[in-house]
Amino acid sequence: MTAFAAVDLGASSGRVMVGRFGDGRIELTETHRFANEPVRAGGTLHWDILGLYRGVLEGLRKAGPVASIGIDSWAVDYGLLDASGALLGNPVHYRDGRTDGVRLDGSDEKLYEITGLQKLPFNTIYQLAAARGTPQFELAQQVLLIPDLLAYWLTGEIGAEYTNASTTGLLDVRTRDWSAPVLAELGLRPSLLPPIRQPGSVIGEYDGTTVTAVGSHDTASAVVGVPAADEHFAYISCGTWSLVGLELPGPMLSAESRAANFTNEGGVDGTIRYLRNVMGLWPLQECMREWGSPDIGELLRQASREKPVIIDIDDPGFLPPGGMAERVATAAGLPADASPALLTRCIVDSLALAHRKAIEQAQALSGRHVDAIHIVGGGARNELLCQLTADACGLPVLAGPVEATALGNLLVQARAAGVIDGDLAALRSVLRDTQQVIRYDPVRR
């Protein structure tokens, strides 16, 4: 069997997974997991990028010999390099407040027409606007998104992988290259941004092993890892965020799409990930941290017996860390001492309804109907959320694989190496043959 290593970095942890391919099957093994704990210093929230890199190196050491390495991570955040290629400080976390109140000179309508990107305050374009004029930014000669930065440290090669670049607000959704008008509007030198590279291309070598570009935005890899049998599916890549949408052949750039805050992000094989960011399990994760990390299974069982109380889970007030249980209780009109089970039910029910809203709007705006919803990622383990999403949407939910991101990363590497072949449908057939999926049918109430 041929082995490949997937470096998969999430907002709370990173891991290195090894996938072994043979006889049309894939076997997945986690070789190393490490914490991703942001650090606040001088009033700014940073990623501990050197700690992450140390975890990556340790994971690759434990992985042993592999045919290639692929890296994916969250989107929008970046590192600045000076003329010598040295990193100018730790990358700033997208949950930091430095983009609060940042405005661009150009119109939202024109920006959407070019980039197709939903307006989110932490998008790279707003982070760069906030960074202008700082000493680090004035010294910068290169901007590298997180997976591209790690790939640069492994190989010495500079580039920008397409799917992650498409989340920045700087890429033209039609040409799939950096937008000269947007860069000019922002006052950015084009030389700051490296050439675009596509998933499946070779980046370089690390210690004699090929490093391959994959869908380096973790959602792009997760969508490859959706075991759909046809095109009539919605996906929810559910973890810290819920990325809810459809896979389309081209962008949807209507005024209605912009008003609904849908984004057109690049996918593998030239597809478009037409989606909206929904708050996801972040509020529950924060609450559980405050509650001392109780057993999630027992908490969800208790929550299933509570009556639903609905809040706007996408309220920006839930973005920052800290004090989450109190904020949820206040939003729900509940007492400050509301039980963890009641607050959990509130979060999960509200998230299921947000899933329904996004899926219904995606269908209406795109003209494509959905027969089933695939939930992948950590949220696929949350039985209550899966059932409530099926009930809210009136559609079957197919939950799994949990490791869709790593699997999508590995499938792109294996195809690039010639171990498997075919289009996305062929790649997904491997998943249907090898990965467990649990079906939740809607319950009539």
Which CATH number covers residue 314? 3.30.420.40
Summary mean pLDDT of the chain = 96
Q: Are residues 279 and 190 in the same domain?
A: no
**Does 218 participate in catalysis according to the annotation?**
yes
Q: How confident is the model at residue 225 (pLDDT cuts 50, 70, 90)?
A: very high
Q: Are residues 286 and 149 in the same domain?
A: no
Q: Are residues 283 and 352 in the same domain?
A: yes
Q: Are residues 197 and 344 in the same domain?
A: no
Angle at alpha carbon of residue 359, lines to 358 and 365, rounded to 5°: 85
Quick check: is 45 in a domain? yes
Task: Note if the pTM is more than 0.85.
Answer: yes
Which residues, in sequence order, are bridge partners of residue 372? 233
Q: Are residues 208 and 266 in the same domain?
A: no
Look at 52 and 23; give whichever has higher pLDDT.
Answer: 52
Q: For residues 200-228, give the mean pLDDT.
A: 98
**pLDDT score, position 102:** 87
Q: Are residues 242 and 204 in the same domain?
A: no
Q: Three-class SS of residue 288?
A: helix
Pairing outcome for strands 177-178 and 171-172 = antiparallel
Q: Are residues 156 and 208 in the same domain?
A: yes
Q: Of 400, 422, 437, which residue constitutes the final position of a domain? A: 400
Q: Are residues 127 and 207 in the same domain?
A: yes
Q: Are residues 15 and 43 in the same domain?
A: yes
Q: For residues 124-152, give the mean pLDDT.
A: 95
**pLDDT score, position 92:** 95
Backbone Cα Rg of the chain: 21
Exposed, middle or buried by CB within 10 Å (0-12, 13-18, 19+), for 198? middle
Q: Where are the beta strands (DSSP E) in 24-103?
A: 25-35, 39-41, 44-46, 68-72, 78-81
Q: Are residues 16 and 153 in the same domain?
A: yes
Which residues, in sequence order, are bridge partners of residue 9? 14
Q: For residues 220-237, give the mean pLDDT.
A: 97
Q: How confident is the model at residue 346 (pLDDT cuts 50, 70, 90)?
A: very high
Q: Are residues 73 and 194 in the same domain?
A: yes
Q: Are residues 96 and 77 in the same domain?
A: yes
**pLDDT score, position 445:** 56
Mention every residue, 6+ apart, whose C-beta is less than 8 A from residue 49.
79, 87, 90, 91, 146, 149
| Residue-wise pLDDT tens digits, 281-310 | 999 999 999 999 999 999 999 999 999 999
Q: Active-site residue among 148, 218, 314, 391?
A: 218
Quick check: is 48 in a domain? yes
Q: For residues 181-187, give the mean pLDDT.
A: 92
Whether the predicted pLDDT of 222 surpasses 70: yes
For residue 259, what are the domain limits? 228-400
